[in-house]
Amino acid sequence: MDRNLALELVRVTESAALVSSKFMGKGDKNGADGAAVEAMRKAFESVKISGEVVIGEGELDEAPMLYIGEKVGIQNDDCMEVDIAVDPLDGTTLIAKGLPNAISVIAMGAKGSLLNAPDTYMKKIIVGPKAKGHIDLNKSTKENIINVAKALGKKTNQMTIIVQDRERHKEIIDTARSLGTRIKMFGDGDVAAGIATCFEETGIDMLMGIGGGPEGVITAAAIKCMGGDMQAQIYPLSDQEIKRCYEMGFSDTDLKKVLSIEDLAKGENLFFAATGITEGDLLKGVINIGNNKAKTQSVVMRAKTGTIRFVDAIHNLDKNDILIELMRKYNI
């Protein structure tokens, strides 16, 4: 896979971030999401791939663009066939309220490399490279915290885990507190929380909990690029979600299976790109700097080389055709 595609993917996430940032704090999460989706779709038109969306905005009858099965990219005969997983705006509530850690993300891999996860919940454990091989979704919360602490050379009261602030995570929180483990809560934004485990400067050692399934696959691609580890289980929480799994061909056995990171994102031909929209723990948000210009910060990763690049960019918004068109359309 052409390594130059990395920068092309950054241009795509930048487009979605720039447009959706115009909605920050305005309380319009649907408008922000719609604008991000449209910007990302338009930006894909110039990327030299024959891509198919395997994780996107929903089925054809649910989403006008970036729907599951949609073809994206130039689609020439000489273009590589790839799977695409997108979340143009991970953190719709965050952008609507002007809260931190909203990002735009893409994962891309060779055809057949990304799990076509149903739009249901997923149980997850994620750690960085130093704790690789020391997590087991079949073991208890206590055992996993203790095992990861040992792998990191820490006591449990020196550990920090990140957990989504939801009632369903009471057992995880209570167990962590009984071990003296620090807990960082997050409201929304599964992907940003997951990849934080692989950057020592975030201070996050581990993610545990139940979050979005599609976001889990996108996160897995990033964790694979960074040499971390992840286990997951498709975890429907309602009859409707179970029905959705069956409709996508998943059996009862599939729903019981613990998925390794290789099950979620196969091989080394994987890319991950993200651009910050609001200020975050890992990426700066979009900053307007006057003269109709804006700064963005992105990260792009490649599994084959393990390279992680941070990309700072200054955009002249007067010359950004996608942004100009969508600002008029959405009156922003």
Residue 190 labeled ligand binder: yes
Residue 133 burial (CB count, 10 A): 9
- Measured CA to CA, the distance from residue 317 to residue 288 in angstroms comes to 10
Please state, in angstroms and rounded to a whole number, the distance separating the CA atoms of residues 312 and 299.
Answer: 9
Q: Does the annotation place 91 within a ligand binding site?
A: yes
Burial 188-201 (b: 16+ CB within 10 A, else e): bbbbbbbbbbbbee
Which residues, at least 6 apart from 321, have a Cβ–Cβ distance to it below 8 Å? none
Amino acid identity of 13? Answer: T
Amino acid letter, 219: T
Residue 121 is assigned to a ligand binding site: yes
The total number of residues shown for the chain amounts to: 332
Task: Judge whether 189 is annotated as a binding position.
Answer: yes
Cα–Cα separations (whole angstroms), residue 70 to 9, 58, 89: 17, 10, 18
How would you label 257-269 residue by residue, b for 16+ Cβ within 10 Å and e otherwise? Answer: eebebeebbbeeb
**C-alpha triplet 173, 176, 179: angle, nearest 5°:** 150
Amino acid at 136: D
Task: Check the annotation: does 87 bind a ligand.
Answer: yes
Q: What are phi and psi of 12, to 5 degrees?
A: -70, -45
Chain centroid to CA 286: 18
Residue 188 is given by DSSP the state S
Judge whether 166 is annotated as a binding position: yes
- Provide φ and ψ at 298, rounded to 5°: -130, 165
The 3-state DSSP class for residue 309 equals strand
Binding-site annotation: residue ranges: 33, 57, 87, 90-92, 121, 166-168, 188-190, 212, 215
Binding-site annotation: residue ranges for Mn(2+): 33, 57, 87, 90, 215
Binding-site annotation: residue ranges for substrate: 90-92, 121, 166-168, 188-190, 212
